[in-house]
Chains A and B, each alone.
Chain A
Amino acid sequence: MGDLLDIRNLAVDFMAHEGIMYALCGVDLTIGKGEIHGLVGESSCGKSTAAKAILGLHNKKRTRIKGEILFEGSDILAMPPREVAKLRGSAISIIFQDPMASLNPLMGIGSQIAEMYRLHENASKRLAREKAAAMLEKVGLTPSELRYKQYPFELSGGMQQRAMIAMAISCSPKLLIADEPTTALDATIQAQILELVKSVSDEMGMSVLLITHNFGIIAELCKRVSVMYAGRVVETGDTQELLASPKHPYTIDLIASIPRLENSSEKLTSIAGSPKALYEPPVGCQYYSRCSRRLDICEKQYPETRDVGAGHKAACHWSHSA
């Protein structure tokens, strides 16, 4: 298959102070080569937990991870830590929501990018410097001679995020995980950053896992999208198809609750209640208590994920029975 990343039945449990927290309960996700895949869901549904698991960033002592994460056919979870560390930054890299927290405040941004080449490609100091300057140019941090020497605090939020992207794509990774890359930025800056991510992905043939809670961003950027709820992927499909005919009630409700520029209806639909953290092993569908289309079976048995259209899957008793 042409899949770059294939996550199968991934489960992550945290040993929290309050007891075991079931953060992910069987996530299936595939990302093709060069594809921008959206991962959408509300806060605490497990989006970032999944991203961290792909990079092997969870503390082994306090986390229990099951399932498979196949990256180019080999299971990241079964790899020795040294191998995973090699993948990080070179084959898979990540950018986070708050760039200021990810950049070293005591180091010029140019040197931070150059460090990537020194570390992963064993480049000489001079070569690393040249490559880093070229990378700054590429993400629009110009003039690169000036930006190279600047410290993170001298840059605005948008420019910091550009520097983060430069660092993340410096070693031409095959997969870039963007965890809410624009949530901390203003609307006009958000547009700049998203444009950059898209052009970089097209140019380098890089796959992107774009984590966000904003369906609008997904609609503009992603080819395929997965919707997460309470530690599970409840629906996956082509973005256009999924937005046009969502099959899972959660997706339907979520799309209906978004204020839009186009329609002008007085009242917004809201979803009653809010998602809860799982401190007990989940039984049945987690959306049951908030769902307006629930059936009796939903409370007792988790629905299996089935095809509901071409390349479109959903896990819901209601849509299966319809």
Chain B
Amino acid sequence: MIALVSAQMLGKAYRIPSRKLGEGAKLLHAVSDVSLSIQRGSIFGIVGESGSGKSTLGRLLIRLEKPTSGQLYFAGEDVTAIPRQRLSSQMQMIFQNPYGSFNPKQKIQNALMEVAKVHKIPKAKAMDLAATLIEEARLPESCTQRLPSELSGGQLQRLAIVRALMLNPEFLVADEPVSSLDVSVQAQILNLLLELKHSHSLSVLFISHEMPVVKAVCDEAAVMYLGSIVEMASTSELFSHPSHPYTKALLSAVPSLDPKIKKERIILKGDMPSPLGIPQGCPFAPRCPQAFSLCKTHKPVLTEAAPNHMASCHLVSTDKEVSKT
């Protein structure tokens, strides 16, 4: 089966002009050499801290940014060959702050109809479509007559999803869709995404910085650090057998609700380095509690830690070699 979205060695480097005279521009590697594939009807999670390049990756996959290296295929077709209009009807995006993604002076009804107008869908058909989607999102019909400021954050985020689905896309990028919402409302959005995955056989790239949220909705997940994927596996495998030290630290940093579960907390020292000065060797080495001499000189590559479980860590690859011999 062909994956819906497939990226091979995808990279994005931004040119940062120098502020000093006589010094050349620097390259900021926001995303480097990312390969992944997203199956139809599945939710793929990307976790990482701020500055790890997860949003840039999302924008690359939806062609909001042009990659500087690598290839990207959508349903087996090279995306550069797909015209913009068709591309935008097949992939859509929702953002963190729903109040920022709607025009504050425009009624919801008009915001939804604008999509239809651009893509030349007859108005009557679009109205019907909007009504069904609004019902599916469990929103009151009357909300179409309101302005964004009259709706709550949770309602508006559901409307953002409704608008994204107006063209019946196959692929949706959700960039931190619940980060600005309260916990009690957050669950409404997550459940809606899970339902849509089944009813519309929608594929979703779900970007988040919260491990429990990723665990709750995603089928597969990748952990990013400084622009690279450090670990990738099915969600159940990733959360039950994390093998990269960074994933382990991220998991241990999640405060547990059950006081009986006393975890060994791994406290990482310092901050993530700037992507302008990615350290030589493993990018995580300066903060890694298990780093050894090899890590400082050689960058590890993604290797199979277990079937369908990739990790880029010298500990994993050396373990493999030891067990082979």
Q: Are A187 and B254 in contact (CB under 8 A)?
A: yes
Residue B186 interfacial (CB < 8 Å)? yes
User: In this assembly, does A188 line the interface, its C-beta being within 8 Å of a C-beta of chain B?
Assistant: yes
Of the candidates B49, B155, B251, B255, the one having the most CB atoms from chain A within 10 angstroms of its own CB is: B255
Most chain A CB atoms below 10 A, which of B184, B188, B239: B184
A267 within 8 A of B: yes
What are some 10 contacts across the A-B interface (CB < 8 A)?
Answer: A191-B268, A192-B267, A195-B267, A215-B257, A219-B257, A258-B257, A261-B251, A262-B261, A269-B187, A274-B184
Instruction: List chain A residues, Cβ under 8 A from B209.
Output: 186-187
- Give the residues in chain B near A207, CB-CB below 8 Å: none
Complex interface: chain A residues within 8 A of B83 (CB): none
Chain A's closest residue to B189 (CB) is A270
What 3 A-B pairs are tightest by C-beta distance, nearest first? A216-B255, A270-B187, A271-B184
Given contacts A186-B49, A187-B250, A268-B190, contact A262 B183 (CB under 8 A): no
Proximity bits, A149-170, B CB within 8 Å = 1, else 0: 0000000101100000000000
Whether A274 lies near B185 (C-beta < 8 A) is yes
Interface contact B271-A219, CB-CB below 8 Å: no
B184:A255 contact, CB within 8 angstroms: no
Q: Does B267 contact A214, Cβ atoms closer than 8 Å? A: no
Interface pair B257/A158, CB less than 8 Å apart: no
Secondary structure type dominating chain B contacts? helix
Are A158 and B259 interface neighbours, CB within 8 A?
no
Task: Give which listed residue, A221, A243, A257, A266, contacts B183 with CB less than 8 A.
Answer: A257
Is A267 touching B191 in the complex (CB atoms < 8 A)? yes
Kindly identify which residue among A189, A194, A257, A262 contacts B256, using a CB–CB cutoff of 8 Å: A262
Known A186-B50, A243-B259, A269-B187; judge A42-B253 contact (CB<8 A).
no
In this assembly, does A240 line the interface, its C-beta being within 8 Å of a C-beta of chain B? yes
Give the A-binding residues of B (Cβ under 8 A): 49-50, 152-155, 182-188, 190-191, 194, 209-213, 215-216, 236, 239, 249-259, 261, 265, 267-268, 271-272
Q: Which of B184, B213, B249 contacts A42 (CB 8 A)?
A: B184
Contact of B182 among A43, A189, A194, A269 (CB under 8 A): A43
Does A253 touch B at the CB level, under 8 Å? yes
Q: Count the A residues whose beta carbon is within 8 Å of the partner chain — how many?
A: 42
Inter-subunit contact A216/B253 (CB<8 Å): no
Q: Across the interface, do A156 and B271 meet the contact criterion of CB distance under 8 Å? A: yes
Known contacts A219-B256, A259-B216, A261-B211; A191/B267 CB under 8 A: yes
Q: A274 near B251 (CB under 8 angstroms)? A: no
Can you list, as one digit per residue, whether each of A22-64 has a CB less than 8 Å from chain B (1) or not (0)? 0000000000000000000011000000000000000000000
- A259–B214 Cα gap in the complex (Å)? 9
A268 touches B184 (CB 8 A): no
Give every chain B residue within 8 A of A159 (Cβ-Cβ).
271
- Asked if A8 is at the interface of the complex by the 8 Å CB criterion, the answer is no
Whether the Cβ atoms of A254 and B184 lie closer than 8 Å is yes
Q: Knowing A158-B271, A188-B49, A189-B271 are in contact, say whether A42-B255 is a contact too (CB < 8 A).
A: no
Complex partner residue of A266 from B194, B251, B254, B259, CB under 8 angstroms: B194
A257 and B259 form a contact (CB under 8 A): no
Contacting B at CB under 8 A, from A129-167, are 156, 158-159
Are A213's CB and B183's CB within 8 A?
yes
Q: Are B254 and A42 in contact (CB under 8 A)?
A: no
Q: Return chain A residues, CB-CB under 8 Å to B216.
A: 259, 268
Q: How far is the CA of A288 from the CA of B154 in the complex (A)?
A: 19
The one of A158, A195, A259, A267 in contact with B215, judged by C-beta atoms closer than 8 angstroms, is A259
| Complex Cα spacing A117 to B13, Å | 47
Report the nearest B residue to A219, measured CB to CB: B257
Kindly list chain B residues whose C-beta atoms are within 8 Å of the C-beta of A187: 49, 209-211, 250, 253-254
Q: Which residues of A contact B215 (CB under 8 A)?
A: 259, 261, 264
Please, which residues of chain B bring their CB within 8 A of the CB of A268? 187, 190-191, 216
A304 within 8 A of B: no
Residues in A with CB closer than 8 Å to B259 are 219-220, 239-240, 243
Contacting pair A270 B184 (CB below 8 A): yes
Please give me the residue from chain A that is nearest to B274 by CB atom. A156
Given known A186-B209, A188-B249, A267-B194, contact A42–B182 (CB-CB < 8 A)? yes
Distance in angstroms between the alpha carbons of A159 and B154 in the assembled complex = 33
Give Cα A220–Cα B255 distance, bound, in whole angstroms: 6
Provide the residues of chain A in CB contact with B236, threshold 8 Å.
Answer: 264
Whole-angstrom distance between the alpha carbons of A254 and B183 in the complex? Answer: 7
Specify the chain B residue showing the minimal Cβ separation from A140. B269
Extra contacts besides A219-B255, A240-B259, A259-B212 (19): CB < 8 Å: A42-B183, A158-B271, A187-B210, A188-B249, A188-B268, A192-B268, A195-B267, A215-B257, A216-B255, A219-B258, A221-B255, A254-B184, A257-B186, A259-B213, A262-B257, A262-B258, A270-B188, A271-B187, A274-B184
Question: In the complex, which residue of chain B has the Cβ closest to the Cβ of A45?
Answer: B182
Contact of A216 among B182, B249, B250, B256 (CB under 8 A): B256
Cα of A213 to Cα of B188 in the assembled complex, Å? 17
- Residues in B neighbouring A86, C-beta threshold 8 A: none
Do residues B256 and A220 form an inter-chain contact, with CB atoms below 8 A?
yes
A190 sits at the interface (CB 8 A): yes
Closest to B255 in A: A216
A262 to B258, CA, bound (A): 9
Which chain B residues lie closer than 8 Å to A255 at the CB level? Answer: 257
Q: Which residues of B contact A253 (CB under 8 A)?
A: 184
A216–B213 alpha-carbon span in the complex (Å) = 13
**Is A293 part of the binding interface, using a Cβ–Cβ cutoff of 8 Å?**
no
Contact call A258/B50, Cβ cutoff below 8 A: no
